[in-house]
Amino acid sequence: MMTILDGKALAQTIRTKIKDRITALASKPGLAILLVGEDPASHIYVNLKQKACEEVGIHFEKHLYAQDVSEEELISKIQELNSNPDIHGILVQIPLPNQNADHVIEAIDPVKDVDGFHPRNLEALREGKPSLAPAVALGILKLIDKALDGKNRAGLHTTIVSSDFFADPLQILLREQQISSDVVRPTNPSFQQKIAEADILIIALGRPNLIHGSMIKTGAILIDVGTTKVHGRLVGDIERATVEPVAGALSPVPGGVGPMTVAMLLLNVLNAYGKQKP
């Protein structure tokens, strides 16, 4: 029987531990988020992060900007937050409407880059040095750990269906766990073969129900990162009804990767605070 990887329950356990740790601190960790434009999904995500911060005791600041704000203005605010001792984490909600996200993110002090996308943090991750890793990748690794439940990882292979930007830190973290991986896209001639061979499948495309039961390996662990609203409800990239008789485990949409990403963001803020406080 397929196991449902309840990211919401696991995230709540992590959040409770974070709250207990923050309660014992002499001061509060602080997170600032820059939110540009009116994208409804981005506003929902930021509101969820704000609620989570308030729940565990993290000071939260939200800085709102019109969609045509200049990169210079965003970078100026980031530089101000870099020097603010009460802010230990800075996050730019992506995607940005028109601005170059790489330029804006590079302005963040790497020690405050709690989203883990600063080039210096990604480079440190590649080199096996201590760094802040992307919260979504950390959340996915926690779900995989839950699915494996202590089982031997030797020889396991992961297929990641996503952009290179998304897959890069994931591959590094998987390699640290002795799990091999490759990245494939639907246009690749070997797409079907790679899906069928995967012990672990991670997909983040935003293409509803792309993966169905006849495509996957029996007992595969499926991590669904795709979220698309269809007829008023969120749908993942994996067709749950058809994979249930075949898969070993599935992270559902909603309630899987999303809550775990927020929980790991909170943990990154707490860790960043620890590195910045004397």
HEC profile of 88-151: CEEEECCCCCCCCHHHHHHCCCHHHECCCCCHHHHHHHHCCCCCCCCHHHHHHHHHHHHHHCCC
229: buried, middle or exposed (CB in 10 Å: 19+, 13-18, 0-12)?
exposed
pLDDT at 12: 97
φ/ψ region of 201 (left if φ > 0, alpha if ψ in -120 to 50, else beta) reads: beta
pLDDT at 41: 83
pLDDT band (50, 70, 90) for residue 40: confident
Q: Which of 77, 93, 142, 217 is catalytic?
A: 93
Residue span(s) of the chain under CATH 3.40.50.720 come to 135-257
Cα dist. 116→90, 242, 267 in Å? 10, 35, 12
pLDDT at 213: 97
- Coil, strand or helix at 249: strand
| 115 carries an active-site annotation | yes
Mean pLDDT for the chain overall: 96
* Structure confidence by residue, pLDDT tens digits, 234-273: 899 999 999 999 999 999 999 999 999 999 999 999 999 9
Q: Which residue type, as a one-letter code, is found at position 71?
A: E
Residue 48 and residue 262 in contact, taking contact as beta carbons nearer than 8 Å: yes
* Structure confidence by residue, pLDDT tens digits, 176-202: 999 999 999 999 999 999 999 999 999
Q: Looking at domain 135-257, which of 3.40.50.720, 3.30.470.20, 3.40.640.10, 3.40.630.10 is its CATH number?
A: 3.40.50.720
pLDDT at 251: 98
pLDDT at 204: 96
Residue span(s) of the chain under CATH 3.40.50.10860 come to 28-112
| Residue positions counted in the chain | 278
CATH no. of 28-112: 3.40.50.10860
102-131 as b/e, with b when 16 or more CB fall inside 10 Å? eebbbbbbbbbbbbbbbebbbebbeeeeeb
Average pLDDT over residues 12-27: 97
pLDDT at 137: 97
Residue 211 and residue 235 in contact, taking contact as beta carbons nearer than 8 Å: no
Q: Which of 115, 199, 224, 237 is catalytic?
A: 115
pLDDT band (50, 70, 90) for residue 49: very high
Q: Which residue, 124, 84, 81, is CA-closest to 105?
A: 81
Structure tokens at 29: 């960790």
| Res 278 pLDDT > 90 | no
* Structure confidence by residue, pLDDT tens digits, 145-158: 999 999 989 899 99
Percentage with pLDDT > 90 across the chain: 91
pLDDT at 100: 95
pLDDT band (50, 70, 90) for residue 210: very high
Percentage with pLDDT > 70 across the chain: 100
Q: Which of 49, 77, 194, 217 is catalytic?
A: 49
Average pLDDT over residues 168-176: 95
